[in-house]
């Protein structure tokens, strides 16, 4: 059960103290408080964990400071959408809104290799009006002999160049808890020129200890990729691990799943699940067409499969596109074959715009049909 308190309620005030005193007397119920500090107001939610079936919603509504009560039946208490649940499906970070109603493109390097390539990438982004990117410093590789990423060594120039080119948020994978501190320290040392979104890759979707640690910090939002070899519901539970530790700034990423039925693509495209994630959870949804498709093949009309895949996700309501680009894919140390070229960036962005407009028209059409049918 979730109690949503009046906005800006004072934790030192009488109403809050009386409420907490009452809740502490409930038998066998654990009380967890989550506070979300926004630009305009602070929202406080209280999670009652345990057998809440005998607690009446009306009783809870009558307690001091309680504005609304949501009875949660499903497992994913925090990230799930529940009946009469009007909790927000967006968050703000670095002045940007990430929600089920917005769309951001994170084009960039799968792996940082040279400072020159980082600069060329960021310059192209700036020239094309982009303020987000992806930059891999820590790479989870199948083989221990493959390039593992430059790690913290590259962070100073990545962050400095981001500041120089007006990049506000960088999606960056972390594979170990120490990486969070390294990113934090490097950002502070650089004077905070940009922001970071911590990415949990598909290989770590069920690394529960990492999820708990990333979920416990609230400095950085998290992009959680769906596990490529586990069930959909198991991946949603991974998101719940992050949220139950306190971090609600989560984006759920679809990146294809592992099965040879997906051949000749690298993974089997799962972007038909974009609306499913949006229905079952309050999380914005990211699509990663690069890791889903994995190569630069194109359809008979000359459109790259990666662009087709992107359009499929965006037309279905995706809120973020994470995509690999590289100034010289043949010299990339990771995933060169799936990287788009910098000169393809304007085309890619325009194609996304077409798909987004089509999505918006589809929403308007569905709304009209519903009202006319009502």
Nearest to 172 by CA among 199, 190, 195: 199
Which stretches within 247-344 are classed as H helix? 274-280, 289-293, 305-315
Query: What distance in Å separates the CA atoms of residue 109 and residue 154, rounded to the nearest whole number?
Result: 13
Q: Is the Cβ–Cβ distance between 67 and 305 less than 8 Å?
A: no
Query: Does residue 335 bind Mn ion (CB under 5 A)?
Result: yes
Interacting stretch for Mn ion, rule CB under 5 A, among 79-87, 107-115, 119-127, 342-350? 107-115
Alpha-carbon distances, residue 180 vs 160, 168, 212, 280, 340 (angstroms): 18, 18, 13, 29, 28
Count of residues making up the chain: 374
Per CB under 6 A, the list member of 110, 112, 121, 169 interacting with ligand PEP is: 110
Closest residue to ligand PEP, judged by C-beta, is: 201
Which CB sits closer to ligand PEP, 140 or 156?
140
Per CB under 5 A, the list member of 2, 19, 23, 110 interacting with Mn ion is: 110
Q: Is the Cβ–Cβ distance between 352 and 105 less than 8 Å?
A: yes
Interacting stretch for Mn ion, rule CB under 5 A, among 103-111, 113-121, 198-206, 358-366? 103-111
Report the SS3 class of residue 81: coil
Query: Does residue 225 bind ligand PEP (CB under 6 A)?
Result: yes
Query: What distance in Å separates the CA atoms of residue 167 and residue 164, rounded to the nearest whole number?
Result: 8
Which CB sits closer to ligand PEP, 195 or 256?
256
For the chain, counts of helices (H) and of strands (E)? 11, 15
Contact partner, 202, from ligand PEP, Mn ion, none, Cβ < 5-8 Å per class:
ligand PEP
Query: What distance in Å separates the CA atoms of residue 61 and residue 69, rounded to the nearest whole number?
Result: 6
Site for ligand PEP in 324-353 (CB under 6 A): none
Which CB sits closer to Mn ion, 240 or 335?
335
Binding mask 284-323 for Mn ion (x = CB under 5 A): ----------------------------------------
Site for ligand PEP in 148-207 (CB under 6 A): 173, 201-203
Interacting stretch for Mn ion, rule CB under 5 A, among 83-91, 230-238, 303-311, 332-340? 332-340
Which CB sits closer to Mn ion, 160 or 335?
335
Query: What distance in Å separates the CA atoms of residue 299 and residue 308, rounded to the nearest whole number?
Result: 8
Which CB sits closer to ligand PEP, 168 or 266?
266
Query: Does residue 136 bind ligand PEP (CB under 6 A)?
Result: yes
Alpha-carbon distances, residue 48 vs 26, 71, 191, 193 (angstroms): 10, 10, 40, 39
Query: What distance in Å separates the CA atoms of residue 27 and residue 50, rounded to the nearest whole number?
Result: 9
Query: What distance in Å separates the CA atoms of residue 172 and residue 370, rounded to the nearest whole number?
Result: 41
Interacting stretch for Mn ion, rule CB under 5 A, among 122-130, 147-155, 250-258, 334-342? 334-342
Query: Does residue 227 bind ligand PEP (CB under 6 A)?
Result: no
Binding site for Mn ion (CB under 5 A): 110, 335
Q: Which residues bind ligand PEP (CB under 6 A)?
A: 110, 136, 140, 173, 201-203, 225, 255, 288, 291
């Amino acid at each position: 059960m979730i109690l949503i308190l009046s906005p800006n309620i004072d934790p030192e005030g009488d109403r809050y103290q009386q409420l907490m005193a009452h809740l502490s007397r409930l038998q066998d119920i654990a009380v967890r408080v989550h506070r979300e500090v926004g630009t305009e107001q602070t929202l406080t939610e209280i999670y009652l964990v345990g057998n809440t079936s005998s607690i009446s919603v009306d009783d809870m509504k009558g307690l001091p400071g309680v504005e609304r009560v949501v009875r949660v039946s499903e497992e994913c208490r925090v990230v799930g959408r529940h009946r009469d649940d009007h909790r927000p499906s967006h968050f703000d970070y670095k002045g940007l809104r990430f929600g089920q109603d917005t769309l951001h493109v994170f084009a960039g390097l799968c792996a940082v290799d040279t400072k020159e390539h980082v600069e060329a990438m960021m310059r192209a982004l700036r020239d094309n009006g982009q303020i987000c990117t992806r930059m891999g410093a820590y790479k989870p590789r199948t083989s221990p002999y493959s390039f593992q990423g430059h790690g913290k060594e590259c962070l100073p120039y990545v962050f400095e160049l981001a500041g120089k080119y007006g990049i506000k948020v960088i999606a960056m994978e972390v594979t170990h808890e120490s990486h969070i501190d390294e990113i934090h320290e490097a950002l502070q040392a650089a004077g905070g020129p940009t922001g970071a979104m911590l990415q949990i890759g598909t290989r770590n979707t069920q690394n529960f200890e990492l999820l708990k640690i990333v979920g416990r910090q609230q400095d950085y939002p998290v992009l959680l990729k769906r596990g490529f070899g586990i069930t959909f519901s198991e991946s949603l539970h991974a998101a719940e691990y992050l949220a139950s530790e306190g971090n609600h700034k989560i984006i759920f990423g679809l990146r294809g799943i592992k099965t040879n039925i997906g051949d000749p693509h690298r993974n089997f495209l799962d972007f038909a699940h974009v609306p499913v994630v949006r229905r079952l959870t309050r999380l914005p949804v990211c699509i990663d067409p690069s890791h889903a498709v994995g190569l630069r093949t194109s359809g008979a009309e000359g459109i790259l499969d990666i662009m087709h895949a992107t359009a499929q996700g965006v037309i279905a309501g995706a809120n973020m596109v994470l995509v690999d680009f590289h100034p010289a894919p043949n010299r990339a140390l990771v995933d060169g074959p799936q990287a788009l070229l910098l000169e393809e960036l304007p085309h890619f962005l325009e194609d996304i715009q077409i798909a987004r407009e089509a999505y918006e028209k589809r929403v308007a059409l569905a709304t009209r049909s519903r009202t006319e049918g009502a």
